[in-house]
Chains A and B, each alone.
Chain A
Amino acid sequence: MSEKITLSHGSGGRQTQALIRDHFAARFGMNGPMTDSALLSLPSSLIAFTTDSYVIDPLFFPGGNIGKLAVCGTVNDLAVSGAEPKYLSAAFIIEEGFEMDQLDTIISSMADEAEKAGVRIVTGDTKVVEKGQCDRIFINTAGVGVLSEELMHISSGSSVREGDRLIINGPPGDHAVTILASRRNLSFDSPMTSDCASLNHLIRKVVEKPAAVHFMRDLTRGGLAAVLNELAAMTRHGITIEESSVPVEEAVRGLCEILGFDPLTLASEGRVLVLAAAEEAEGIVERMHTDPLGRGAAIIGTIGAGREGRVILKSSTGGSRFLDMPSGQLLPRIC
């Protein structure tokens, strides 16, 4: 039988030390002495700092697992703020009885994804709780990134103005549909894969001309509909979206048709909304197309046409309607 996590792995004694040394530190490349804090230096005094917790069910899904997600999610939160992600922390709450093999797979995914994204996991924590006190494993990551003065305006949306174009880097909803399908044992003719990915390299290309980009946000819970409504409320602009311009995967459309979901409200973990000055939008889309994570990039709408603070969707059938903030619980624990 394979080794399992027990309460003694979290008690601070010898097993805890071994777990940290042989499993976490080894994979995360923490070679130095075990200090209470990671001591770091940064090339700028402007810092972006974020944190997020990951409780997804199932832990493993096509295209990733909770570990990869925990790295991508926090890297993306930094990147869409205009920051260059540098360091992450990783804290684990593990239910006793969790299999060590699975933990190793999760740790490996985190290490691989961190390397891909060019960030380092520099500090962490492990707690083990009794059976039934948590669902297998929960992960929290926090991250710091450095920001340049010329990108400070991005996260607040303060420079959004009428005529700005809305761009997304690919079809939304793949993550939510993949999770739902894994949970319900639904199968598709062409298998679905989560879009879970670190977007910081793509975003570097997007912000080549810093002043051209007016806002960015990753399309996580609530999907495009939630982000657009937050943006409309924040900037007090009207937003118009062309439904036919929003790329949606066939399988996502199909599942939405069957289950009555709107693809625009479904979560992604590797999709970003970019607002750019009208004259720069085409150029940004072209640059996005050169990146594997931006192949599906498209302009989907415009700021300013329509009623203040509201999002209008021009449906592909020729009608138009408001696109409202999604409400209630669509899918439990998808991130």
Chain B
Amino acid sequence: MKYVDEFRNKRHIARLAALIAKEATSDYTFMEVCGGHTASIHRFGIPSLLPPQIRLISGPGCPVCVTAARYIDTLVALASGEGITIALFGDLMRVPGTHQTPGEAKADGGDVRVVLSAYEALELARSNPGRKIIFSAIGFETTAPGTAVTMIQADREGLANFFVLNAHKVMPPAMETILKDGAQIDGFICPGHVAVITGSSAFEFIPQRYGLACVVTGFEPTDILSAVLMLVRQVNSHKPSVEIQYRRAVSVEGNVRAQGYLSEVFEPGEVEWRGLGVIPSGGMQIRDRYRRLDAASAFSVEIPETIHANGCICGDILRGVRRPPDCDLFASACTPDHPEGACMVSDEGSCNTWYKYHSHE
């Protein structure tokens, strides 16, 4: 397949792996903060291609995993409302809230539907004028512009039955939180899709303030291996900077038009990240101009006190402090069929990928 096979060329992969093995002269720990990277790394068996002195750890890059339990509880409560349809991304169906997953709320009679985009939720609102459609808006700078454009469109059309339950998040402040919490890493594999929107400049503070290496990369095996090689070289030369490996999609300034839509609809705000706590400026808040579409102000629901799963170490895993097999629940009480923590639910979650692609007996 064009634009894919070139980046999965076995010969190029072997050559990159050999260069990394040659140049990696000490121990290195790199963190990826994009769920797409986590999934690619394990799907293509990248760890099996790297020498033992290179350790890749996963950060808080899976949008489902960092969605607070309270948000899920709110979705579940809204789902039982008269005339309400919840439109969400499929992964959210099985994320445990305090008492129920959205999937269980659906089984109890709630109208919960899977959509592939915000726009699809808008279409639902147009074609079901008698129902109130609430789109569950999760994700980082990658999915947020889609939500923003959809909200602008809904506002223009004067749609009275389209709402957004917003939990959009901003990645760079979360990376800074991890560093402040004392993560022991030598560099970041920076999120490629986030950077398409924000530009690589969003990560400049990392080498400047924390002296760590950064490479923005794509999602194919040669992308990831090239990024690892570039990170090793940055560390070896003691010259940390933000380099772009993913040139075919990412620029320094990013997608200015998408940024315009984002600032039209959202402003920086604090938000709770599952596992990391409340991060100032770690979220996007809906501006007053679009408040009418904000499900959090349009509906009031009773939410039970949020209780977190007993013994789940999702928080430590999301900060890269511990790894999935370090959790007592991993592969015993917590499996993809019966997830205790959000990291086990999504295909991009660390625990889920670890469970799927590694030994777990």
A319 at the interface (CB under 8 A from B): yes
Query: Are B39 and A317 neighbours in the complex by a CB distance under 8 Å?
Result: no
The residue in chain B whose Cβ has the minimal distance to the Cβ of A310 is B359
**Whole-angstrom distance between the Cβ of B251 and the nearest chain A Cβ:** 23
Number of B interface residues, CB 8 Å?
A: 30
Query: Are B336 and A317 neighbours in the complex by a CB distance under 8 Å?
Result: no
B246 at the interface (CB under 8 A from A): no
- What total count of A-B pairs have CB within 8 Å? 63
Dominant secondary structure at the A interface? loop
A315-B359 contact in complex given A250-B1, A327-B337, A329-B93, C-beta closer than 8 Å: no
A318-B4 contact in complex given A327-B337, A328-B336, C-beta closer than 8 Å: no
Contacts of B10 in A (CB 8 A): 316-318
B94 at the interface (CB under 8 A from A): yes
Task: Name the contact of A316 in the complex, choosing from B8, B42, B93, B356 (C-beta under 8 A).
Answer: B8
Query: Are B4 and A319 neighbours in the complex by a CB distance under 8 Å?
Result: no
Task: Name the contact of A320 in the complex, choosing from B4, B48, B90, B94 (C-beta under 8 A).
Answer: B48
Q: Once the chains are docked, how many angstroms separate the CA of A320 from the CA of B13? A: 13
The residue in chain B whose Cβ has the minimal distance to the Cβ of A257 is B4
A184-B116 contact in complex given A315-B45, A327-B336, C-beta closer than 8 Å: yes
The residue in chain B whose Cβ has the minimal distance to the Cβ of A308 is B361
Number of A interface residues, CB 8 Å?
A: 22
Contacts of A319 in B (CB 8 A): 44-49, 221
Query: Are B44 and A317 neighbours in the complex by a CB distance under 8 Å?
Result: yes
A162 at the interface (CB under 8 A from B): no
The residue in chain A whose Cβ has the minimal distance to the Cβ of B357 is A321
Task: Name the contact of A254 in the complex, choosing from B1, B13, B17, B359 (C-beta under 8 A).
Answer: B1
Task: Name the contact of A317 in the complex, choosing from B13, B116, B347 (C-beta under 8 A).
Answer: B13
Q: Once the chains are docked, how many angstroms separate the CA of A127 from the CA of B39? A: 47
B43 at the interface (CB under 8 A from A): yes
Contacts of B17 in A (CB 8 A): 318
From A262, A307, A318, name the one whose CB has the most chain B CB atoms within 10 angstroms.
A318
Contacts of B301 in A (CB 8 A): none
A253 at the interface (CB under 8 A from B): yes
Q: Once the chains are docked, how many angstroms separate the CA of A317 from the CA of B7? A: 9
The residue in chain B whose Cβ has the minimal distance to the Cβ of A307 is B359
B355 at the interface (CB under 8 A from A): yes
Query: Are B1 and A320 neighbours in the complex by a CB distance under 8 Å?
Result: no
B14 at the interface (CB under 8 A from A): yes
**Whole-angstrom distance between the Cβ of A105 and the nearest chain B Cβ:** 27
**Whole-angstrom distance between the Cβ of B253 and the nearest chain A Cβ:** 26
Q: Which of B37-92 contact A (CB under 8 A)?
A: 39, 42-49, 90
A1 at the interface (CB under 8 A from B): no
Q: Which of A238-285 contact B (CB under 8 A)?
A: 250, 253-254, 257, 259-260, 262
Contacts of A259 in B (CB 8 A): 116
**Whole-angstrom distance between the Cβ of B15 and the nearest chain A Cβ:** 11
Q: Once the chains are docked, how many angstroms separate the CA of A254 from the CA of B10? A: 20
Q: Could you pull out 5 A-B pairs where Cβ atoms are within 8 angstroms?
A: A253-B4, A319-B45, A321-B45, A322-B357, A327-B337
Q: Which 8 A-B pairs have the closest CB atoms?
A: A319-B45, A327-B336, A321-B357, A324-B356, A321-B45, A317-B221, A319-B48, A317-B44
Known: A254-B1, A260-B39, A316-B8. 7 other contacts (CB 8 A): A184-B116, A253-B4, A260-B347, A262-B43, A316-B10, A317-B45, A328-B336
